[in-house]
Amino acid sequence: MGLKKEANANVNPTHVAVDRKRHLNVVFIGHVDAGKSTAGGQILFLSGQVDDRTIQKYEKEAKDKSRESWYMAYIMDTNEEERAKGKTVEVGRAHFETETTRFTILDAPINSLHAWFFHLAFRKEREIAGHKSYIPNMISGASQADIGVLVISARKGEFETGYERGGQTREHVQLAKTLGVSKLLVVVNKMDDPTVVWSKERYDDIQSKMIPFLKSSQYNVKKDVQFLPISGLLGSNMKTRVEERVCAWWDGPCLFEALDAVEVPPRDPEGPLRMPIIDKFKDQGTVVMGKTESGSICEGDSLLMMPNKAVVKVPALFCDEDRVRYADPGENVRVRLSGIEEEDILSGFVLCSVANPIPAVTEFVAQLQILELLDNAIFTAGYKAVLHIHAIVEECEIVELMQQIDLKKKKPMKKTPLFVKNGAIVLCRVQVNNLICIEKFSDFPQLGRFTLRSEGKTVAVGKVTTLPTVANNA
């Protein structure tokens, strides 16, 4: 892929502890064509993770396909399908460091670094087919992210397309908030475009439209959101501040400075281990991948894989490319396990402590906010949708509407609702066919918030409020 490889401790018996630099997961979100992959590729290039020879190779490849402006996106896109269609389908991963922080980029699918290539010729195909693949994968990426970079195109017409009803900008913001991305950098990209030319008027117009929507999505704009202009293609205002001759009116930080200034969310290394599995494969045994949402993992630990209650051991542990003795909460890790076969593990299973296992349930009570039901749909008992909660994707059914919340008084209504409409907040009982590992939102927000989707659209967001008193744990 052209990324510089770090020394792999697989071939070195000397293990290392996780670097004590703080670690943050970043997810790039935004409408198709906003330039997410280009910005991600530029970050990797500017931070020294991609060498000049690789960039030259991608430039030539892009030029040969008459897609000169896509070369930077190739850094993140790794397969021919993505290059050919100009979209990112898998959640790519890449790493870079600043003075104080190690970052993992979770490149939300649809526009990836290779994606940039084929962007123009396949625009319509990407918008129709790519968006359907992108959102479920974006949910996977965002569920692991500490900070979101919302990329918005300043190009004339592109911001409007992404922001208007049916555009992806709104849905991505709502999903990011629901999935726990509490900090948002709103990056106004393509400021170098001939229709913009670093126009303060255009930047201010976009900001004035986005702020009310961000507030309505429950973001504290003053505390948790920062706007800044960039050019992902040229790298302007990314690693260093944009030159005054290019943009005289901007006196704020560049992207790297803004990322460095983000406060790390609180994490409890002494808490019970919770590591949702996002992927698994065979490599000298069974290896699982995920983010430690709570607690720490040590080489040699005996742990529990839920919901199948398999006791496993940890012969080896990896963080990025390094073999490590232990990993703190918030780390993306690969864990080699003994005592379980790869085929006995599914995405959404959770690695946890034996003494304090995660509940496994087929039913729970949740508070739901209805966003936008499909045409003629009624939200009532019997409503079916697809549940996305951490790495879990499972069909579910609403079996009971228990209470509706009065939006003005913020209190439950006395009358039990038979059905609810768009915008309603309702307490309901949700049922799934298979055991799933979840937590109450009040105990573990990352494992207790979810989205409901139907026919490719997000229809509701919610949080788990109550679990059965006798959950199926160990």
Rounded mean pLDDT, 284-311: 94
Rounded mean pLDDT, 157-168: 80
Average pLDDT, whole number, for the chain? 80
HEC string of the chain equals CCECCCCCHHHCCCCECCCCCEEEEEEEECCCCCCHHHHHHHHHHHCCCECHHHHHHHHHHHHHCCCHHHHHHHHCCCCHHHHHHCCCCCCEEEEEECCCEEEEEEECCCCCCCCCCCCCCCHHHHHHHHHHHHHHHHHHHHCCCCEEEEEEECCCCHHHHHHCCCCHHHHHHHHHHHCCCCEEEEEEECCCCCCCCCCHHHHHHHHHHHHHHHHHCCCCHHHHEEEEECECCCCECCCCCCCCCCCCCCCCCCHHHHHHCCCCCCCCCCCCCEEEEEEEEECCCEEEEEECCECCEECCCEEEEECCCEEEEEEEEEECCEEECEECCCCEEEEEEECCCHHHCCCCCEEEECCCCCCEEEEEEEEEEECCCCCCCCEECCCEEEEEECCEEEEEEEEEEEEEEECCCCEECCCCCCEECCCCEEEEEEEEEEEEECCCCCCCHHHCEEEEEECCEEEEEEEEEECCCCCCCC
**Confidence (pTM):** 0.72
Strand partners, 92: 107
- Give the per-residue pLDDT at 76: 54
Burial of 390 (0-12, 13-18, 19+ CB in 10 A): buried
Instruction: State percent of the chain over pLDDT 70.
Output: 77
Q: Please write the tens of the pLDDT for every residue from 229-263.
A: 999 999 999 999 999 999 999 999 999 999 999 88
Rounded mean pLDDT, 10-16: 38
Which of these, 432, 434, 428, lies nearest to 460 by C-alpha position? Answer: 428
For residue 12, pLDDT beyond 50: no
Q: Please write the tens of the pLDDT for every residue from 206-235.
A: 999 999 989 988 899 999 999 999 999 999
- Give the per-residue pLDDT at 295: 93
Q: Please write the tens of the pLDDT for every residue from 313-343.
A: 999 999 877 899 999 888 889 999 999 999 9
Amino acid of residue 361: V
Residue 86 or 152, more confident: 152
- Give the per-residue pLDDT at 142: 66
Q: Please state, in angstroms and rounded to a whole number, the distance separating the CA atoms of residues 406 and 413.
A: 6
Residues in the chain: 474
Binning pLDDT at 50, 70 and 90, where does residue 166 land? Answer: low
Burial of 368 (0-12, 13-18, 19+ CB in 10 A): buried
Question: For residue 145, what are its two tokens?
Answer: 């992210």
Binning pLDDT at 50, 70 and 90, where does residue 155 land? Answer: very high
Give me the residue label for tokens 């006395």: 414
Q: Please write the tens of the pLDDT for every residue from 45-68.
A: 888 877 667 667 766 776 666 555
- Give the per-residue pLDDT at 108: 40
Instruction: State percent of the chain over pLDDT 90.
Output: 44
Binning pLDDT at 50, 70 and 90, where does residue 175 land? Answer: confident
Binning pLDDT at 50, 70 and 90, where does residue 473 land? Answer: low
Residue 150 or 120, more confident: 150
Instruction: Report in angstroms the alpha-carbon separations of 212 from 151, 157, 217.
Output: 17, 20, 9
Binning pLDDT at 50, 70 and 90, where does residue 131 land? Answer: very low
- Give the per-residue pLDDT at 284: 85
Which of these, 185, 189, 191, lies nearest to 246 by C-alpha position? Answer: 191
For residue 16, pLDDT beyond 70: no
Binning pLDDT at 50, 70 and 90, where does residue 17 land? Answer: very low
- Give the per-residue pLDDT at 317: 95
Q: Please write the tens of the pLDDT for every residue from 433-449.
A: 999 999 999 898 889 98
Residue 122 or 269, more confident: 269
Q: Please write the tens of the pLDDT for every residue from 387-406.
A: 999 889 999 999 999 999 88
Strand partners, 401: 428
Helix H or strand E segment including 406:
strand 392-406
